[in-house]
Structure formats: C-alpha cells, structure tokens
Amino acid sequence: MPKRPIDLRSDTVTQPTAAMKRAMMDAPLGDDVLGDDPTVQALEERCAVLLGKQAAVFVPSGSMANQLAIRSLTEPGDEIIGEQGSHFFQYEAGAFAALSGCSVSLIAGDRGMFDASDVLANIRPADQHFPVTKLVVVENTHNAGGGTVWPVTRVESVAAAARSADLRLHLDGARLMNASVASGAAPADYARFFDTVSMCFSKGLGAPVGSIVAGGEQVIHRARRFRKMLGGAMRQSGLLAAAALYALDHHVDRLADDHANARLLADGIAQLPRLTVDPDVVETNIVYFDIDEQWGTSEALCDRLESRNVLMLPAGPGRVRAVTHLDVTSEQVAEAIDVLATIV
C-alpha cells in the first residue's frame, strides 16, 4: 500500500476512527424529518445545553448552519455587519445574498477580530434610502485570521454595542471548541452573547459530516423550516449524529494536541530561509506562512510538497495554509518541516 500523505490541507480531511465508526453502526435510528430519530434528538438536546440555548437543529454542513442562522434572523433587504475575511462572506458562494437577500457592510479587522466602535461605525442611518442594519456576525476561531481566538471580553463589548442598536448576533463557531480549549472559556461563555450559534463536528472534532445551529426555540423552529426548504433535512441522520456525539465525548480535550502541533510547525517554519511566519500568532490549529516571491509561488511550493507526500493549500500567490488535526502526529509535523527545508 502507498504511504498515506501527511495531509495538512484542512482539519476537514479527518477520517472517522474505528471507535467512532462502531458508535455510528450501533446508533438507534429513526426518521429525523418525521421527528423521531433518537440519536439526532440526543445530539440536539446535548448541544443546546452545551451552548446554553433553548434548542438546536442538526444540519449537514457549516455553510448551511451559517446560512440558516442568517435567514432566520434577517429579512430580504437587511444588511449584515461582518469582518471582511469571514467565512460566511468569502467562502459560502454568496449565499447571504442569494438565499436571504441581504447585503454586507464589511470591517477590516485585526486577524479577523473587530471592536465595538467598528460595529457602531457600520450601522446605517434610519433612512428610506438605505438597507436596514440587522445582524452582526462574529467568527470564532477566525479561519482566515489564522485560527484567531476572540477573548470573551472583546466579544462582550461587540455584543453590547450591537444590542445598544437593537441588532441581532450570530456566532460562526465552526471551530468554537478550538477556541474554548485554547482560551479555557466554556462554549456557553461565548454563546451567551448571541441569538444563534453554529458549530461544526466535521473539522477538528473529527466527525465525517455535520454541524449544529443553536438558539432560542422560536428562531430554531424557523431555522428547521428553512433547513427543509433548502434540502438539508435528512432521514436516518442519527448515523451521523452518533459520530458527532462520539466526537463531543472523546475528541474535545485532544484539540490541545493539534494546537501544540501547529505551534511546533510554525516554530519549525520560522527557522527556514525564504519562508515567513509569526509563531506567536498561532493560537489554535491553523498556520499561515508567506513565501519570498523570489523563490516562487505558493502553488509551486505546494506542488513540490505534494511530490514529497506532504499536502498543504495555497492561500494566495505567496501564502500557504497548513492545518493540524487528529490524523497528524507530532512526528509527521517534524517530517513535514524536514521536507520544507529540503525544498526551500
């Protein structure tokens, strides 16, 4: 058998463990569209408690989770305030416009974060010529910011500014558990400021599919209807919910290992010529590094890495992203550094 590559493209590439597969096969099933899949119900109830909300709904993907939240909290013609590198804006195919009819007012943040003053500065005047500012979206951790962890106090100040203007708030918590493990704050400590919270199971938590949206009973009832409208309601989805439950039981604390491996990777890259990275900004499992333009492009570097059985992703002409996860060991990180050293 060929050697499996050291796959640092994303934490979405994780494979279910043998124990997770057994949990999936053993899960009691029903029909979630008819409301009687016990494993889905158990996951939704657990996540509502975990996030300090009244209710939750299980959905196929993080993108759908974000878009269901946006659709449930806005009306066509409303405007969303968000950071310019946010996943909902950059990487979800313009769904906020296509599905919810919303525009976006963008903030140039600091590694994906912004302040209360940024929120207040982006609120539209109450005038018939303008869209209605309705929603603020915070992403924690912030993917394009390099896995940035928002301090709870900063979230609180942003939320207070939004509430002072009667705005609603959504937390894109795709990697919320990474933020929680890194900061020591409970997931509910972040979630309490928001009307809705999304969280992915298919990234660092290692499940094959699925995300959750949590919030108040009325907004989740609305989100459940939009889930059906968009084709996200699944039948015997307890098979997938069981993987998410297993991940919550067994894969949360070990996220600290991924964070340590990401810092190990950043420290190693920082010692190499023609590559630039600041290890001190690596807070979780995402590492971005830049390439000296005289050496070549990120695509060329990633092609060379792939030929040596190491996979990373170009993130711009001179930038590369590498993400650690449960299928990458510290020994493999060291090997990836050695391969990089040989190439550059």
Which amino acid does the sequence have at 293? E
Confidence of residue 2 (pLDDT cuts 50, 70, 90): low
Q: Is a pLDDT exceeding 60 seen at residue 199?
A: yes
**Nearest to 140, CA basis, from 123, 124, 159, 120:** 159
* Interaxial angle between packed helices 38-50 and 238-250, expressed in degrees from 0 to 180 and rounded to the nearest 10: 40
Q: Per the structure block, which two tokens stand in for 138?
A: 């915070």
Q: pLDDT digits over 74-92, tens only?
A: 999 999 999 999 999 999 9
pLDDT higher than 60, residue 193: yes
Q: Are 224 and 68 in contact (CB under 8 A)?
A: no
The tokens of 184 are what?
Answer: 């020591």
43, 214 Cβ separation under 8 angstroms: no
Q: In angstroms, rounded to a whole number, what is the distance separating the alpha carbons of residues 197 and 95?
A: 18
pLDDT digits (tens, 9 = 90+) for 161-187: 999 999 999 999 999 999 999 999 999
Q: What is the pLDDT of residue 1?
A: 57
> Which among 56, 70, 49, 50 is positioned nearest to 214, based on CA atoms?
56
Tell me the average pLDDT of the chain. Answer: 97
Nearest-Å Rg of the Cα atoms of the chain is 20
Express each pLDDT in 110-161 by its tens digit. 999 999 999 999 999 999 999 999 999 999 999 999 999 999 999 999 999 9
The answer to whether the CB of 303 falls within 8 A of the CB of 233 is no
Could you give the 3-state DSSP secondary structure of residue 44?
helix
Residue 3: pLDDT band (50, 70, 90) is: confident
Dist. CA 306–CA 7, nearest whole Å: 9
pLDDT score at 196 = 98
| DSSP element (H, E) containing 95 | helix 95-98
Q: Are strands 78-83 and 132-139 parallel, antiparallel or unpaired?
A: parallel
Its pTM surpasses 0.75: yes
Of all residues in the chain, the percent with pLDDT exceeding 70 is 99
The mean per-residue pLDDT over the stretch 15-36 comes to: 97
What pLDDT does 212 receive? Answer: 98
**Beta bridge pairs of residue 209:** none
Domains along the chain with CATH numbers = 18-250 (3.40.640.10), 254-343 (3.90.1150.10)
C-alpha–C-alpha distance, residues 126 and 285, integer Å = 42
What are the DSSP calls for 100-159, one per residue?
A: T--EEEEE--BTTB--HHHHHHTPPPS-TTSPEEEEEEEESSBTTTTSBPPPHHHHHHHH
Helix or strand (DSSP H, E) at 146: none
Return the exposure string of 170-186: e unless at least 16 CB atoms fall within 10 Å of the residue's CB, then b. Answer: bbbbbbbbbbbbbbebe
Which candidate, 147, 136, 98, 146, places its Cα nearest to that of 114? 136
